[in-house]
Structure 1
């Protein structure tokens, strides 16, 4: 009996003094404040006003006092009034993390860029995951484009890659950006996503259709940010130390393995955890299962580019198989949380024009327009000195720019304010790798549906996948104006008669179900789905 008592006492003591996790991935998200307390057993300091004066405990309440003499109260209220900044026009919902890029292969024959040369070299970076359409507080599991923007802090300046999880862009004429954003966002009268607007735009701008088909295929909803490939999409010009040029497409391939969700799976997860993507990345880093991607580049020589039967600079299409070779550069790893989401993630500002010697960049008109657009957007959202914000600041800068809205950092102290000068202000370099020939690209205005046809007939691996694409497209047409539906079905039939037929059949069936459901009240209509979600939450629906 005494032995039993001793055993019970040991068990109680053991369970009360340690956490035991066997073969379980810890959910660190709800433990964030607990972890902070464990790291800081005592208060981290004395509470102060924003001017640094200690706050007396009697100032932390204002009942029956002169509130306008209470500086702590004035600081707190004023901060609440001004703490918001404009959210991004697109990709407003985001989550960021720090990491590094490591070179694993020698690519010096293709580019002189310091960041990509020297096997084993590591370059710090900050990455921001995002959803394309959702507002800042939106859920993450919708069928919309996901992104990962990456800022590498190289020895030669910041190098930014703005990546999407689909390998084809949404449009190819920069003038379409504003119209695209308006059509795919909420109707200004109803404040609801309106597929009549979306399909009407697509039928008038068919180059949008390829991305839309990718999005509504099985590739549309990744199973979290860690399990998606990401693509900067443009064709970049790169140069080696001899000034020789190559044209490349960069591709970041997930090392965890590509995985996607069906519409039903995404809806089920969203009903339980609308922050699923962010939680997955946060916990993976906390559990030291760091998200990582292999960086490859597809390569063509200028001579090869001149002999192609397609436009390799068109961001709405893939390069044709057999027209390029692929080499590996290195790997991208995210291994550290941002300590403060606003300071790092919300204030991060990415610009595809942030390039480095050895990577002069794309020559297409889309990219040229983006050079201006991103800078303009950052000035509106963060101010003219957004590059001086800590998360955006490069390792080294010497500029002639001065003054303006904070932060201004050292404002270049007392150095000369004009160039050229004879008083030893900063001087430019001579970049021997800079392209020796200025290249121009001319594009056709005609519509080319070949990439859409190739995607449907060759990239989609079987008829089951083709049918799921057709069903997903049909679902978006259910509440669309009839004349727009007619135009959409005609366009899809031009891509493939089989696709047009499948979508037409699926649309008619979906329309009949919608008409029947419309006769029911909302609670009755969604009761079967509610039962499925309940079973899913209980773990009884596999």
Structure 2
């Protein structure tokens, strides 16, 4: 029992509820002129991998059907080390300043008093820090509840620098496009499914793989040259916006296929440690400030959850690893046996890796705190492909505003009007109707129905109105 008391590790602060599977990545196109990364070179080459899918806000026992962000974290076990691509089902992120993350999580998690998800806090932050609204719009549209993990895309968000064997650079955004075809479910459909199967996403993925319907995604990269980067009329490193059509070209890389369910969720998924700082030669990584913060924060949280040796847990181990880190808390594996534990040495100990082909020039990215509402207007008028989708989006907005305090509602309506007058007008009308209906329902619930029968409850002096059921347990205090 004492072992049982302390056997659990802390759950993740975000992305706690999830599932995953093993599979492989197969190269289908020659991209050697863009990157020297071994994992993406050699048509037909297969690389083993593990993928973890998750909801962002739910606790481990929560529902898969909430309207929120979802993650798709991919760990490639390459010959040059592990490559981790941490994706969302949205192509835009929530913020640019890495320190803002803690405020965002506090606002979008549970209220400290009611312990309920709090729309007032969410809209309060959204109106105070409008940078989050582009992602918030994607969440409130149909993209907020995909029809299972198999039918959603994955976007690693950042603009990555990649380089070829000659040190020539390109800048790319990776995209995992589902081969099952993207599809979504409405809020009403999600509520109906949730009433009978809150683990719908996890069950759907597991059953598909067990039945041999292996889910697959095409990996492609939208690409710009260094010349393009410096001549576009927007910041291509801004993770809160899309690249504009006509400013990039797209290159296919290969296919990701999941063909094996895990044997033990805790061993293979709960202990999984994904870090955007896990990169390989040929992919130097994103140069933006958000990435600099994330590659530190992820390792720190994994040290807290799993311990300093979390990279020696089986699911996190690279194919080949030599290190001077040893003698710590388990797991230590072979602890490097009798290899010298100092550097430099004369006995073939590991040596630091230097990528001689990495570009020698560094790109300096100058970032701005200014908020541009144009991407949100573009989303409303062009990303939402038809009037039916636009109406569902508006309904999700004004229904989320009904429980919000009036001052925050007025700020939200003003912001929506600045984004697009038609959007602001339609949300205001829908909000007023929904608020009136909500107030009428509360008034009806507060008035007791007429002619309710009055039940006489027993008093301390008399016997109960009905005797105990025959055979029921009774307790006597002696």
Taking structure 2 as the reference length, what is the TM-score of the superposition? 0.92
Identify the match of residue 392 of structure 2 among 468, 471, 477: 468
Identify the match of residue 28 of structure 2 among 104, 126, 130: 104
- Residue 263 of structure 1 is matched in structure 2 by 187
Per-residue displacement from partner, 1:67-99 (whole Å, max 9, x unpaired)? xxxxxxxxxx23321221100010000101110
- Residue 277 of structure 1 is matched in structure 2 by 201
Any idea what SS the aligned residue of 1:272 has? coil
In structure 1, list runs of 5 or more residues that go unmatched: 1-76, 525-542
Any idea what SS the aligned residue of 2:76 has? strand
- Residue 147 of structure 2 is matched in structure 1 by 223
- Residue 391 of structure 1 is matched in structure 2 by 315
- Residue 277 of structure 2 is matched in structure 1 by 353
- Residue 309 of structure 1 is matched in structure 2 by 233
- Residue 531 of structure 1 is matched in structure 2 by none
Identify the match of residue 176 of structure 1 among 100, 116, 122: 100
Output the aligned Cα RMSD.
1.4
- Residue 321 of structure 1 is matched in structure 2 by 245
Separation (CA, whole Å) in 2 of partners of 1:451 and 1:400? 48
Taking structure 1 as the reference length, what is the TM-score of the superposition? 0.81
- Whether 2:78 is the aligned partner of 1:154: answer yes
Structure 1 ranges of 4+ moved more than 3 A: 421-424
Preserved CA contact (<8 Å) 1:102 1:120: yes
Q: How does 1:82-93 map to 2 (within 5 A)?
A: 82-93=6-17
Preserved CA contact (<8 Å) 1:242 1:432: no
Deviation for aligned residue 1:463: 2.5
Any idea what SS the aligned residue of 1:219 has? helix
Preserved CA contact (<8 Å) 1:241 1:432: no
Separation (CA, whole Å) in 2 of partners of 1:251 and 1:214? 16
Q: How does 1:449-488 map to 2 (within 5 A)?
A: 449-488=373-412
Any idea what SS the aligned residue of 1:84 has? coil
- Whether 2:94 is the aligned partner of 1:194: answer no
Identify the match of residue 50 of structure 2 among 113, 122, 126: 126
Separation (CA, whole Å) in 1 of partners of 2:29 and 2:141? 34
Deviation for aligned residue 1:479: 1.1
Identify the match of residue 413 of structure 2 among 489, 492, 498: 489
Deviation for aligned residue 1:423: 4.1
Separation (CA, whole Å) in 1 of partners of 2:430 and 2:99? 34
Separation (CA, whole Å) in 2 of partners of 1:116 and 1:452? 34
Separation (CA, whole Å) in 1 of partners of 2:319 and 2:386? 49
Any idea what SS the aligned residue of 2:395 has? helix
Separation (CA, whole Å) in 1 of partners of 2:375 and 2:326? 48
Deviation for aligned residue 1:458: 1.3
Preserved CA contact (<8 Å) 1:400 1:418: yes
- Residue 248 of structure 1 is matched in structure 2 by 172
In structure 2, list runs of 5 or more residues that go unmatched: 449-478
Separation (CA, whole Å) in 2 of partners of 1:420 and 1:285? 48
State how many pairs are aligned. Answer: 448
Deviation for aligned residue 1:417: 2.1
Deviation for aligned residue 1:204: 1.0
Separation (CA, whole Å) in 2 of partners of 1:320 and 1:419? 49
Q: How does 1:305-454 map to 2 (within 5 A)?
A: 305-454=229-378
Separation (CA, whole Å) in 2 of partners of 1:446 and 1:129? 33
Is 459-468 or 360-369 further displaced after alignment? 459-468
Which of the pair is proportionally richer in helix?
1
Separation (CA, whole Å) in 2 of partners of 1:150 and 1:393? 14
Deviation for aligned residue 1:199: 0.7
Separation (CA, whole Å) in 2 of partners of 1:218 and 1:319? 21
Preserved CA contact (<8 Å) 1:467 1:502: no
Any idea what SS the aligned residue of 1:115 has? helix
Preserved CA contact (<8 Å) 1:149 1:160: yes
Any idea what SS the aligned residue of 1:519 has? helix
Deviation for aligned residue 1:396: 0.6
Q: How does 1:503-522 map to 2 (within 5 A)?
A: 503-521=427-445
Separation (CA, whole Å) in 2 of partners of 1:483 and 1:432? 58
Deviation for aligned residue 1:404: 1.6
Any idea what SS the aligned residue of 1:135 has? coil
Deviation for aligned residue 1:429: 4.0
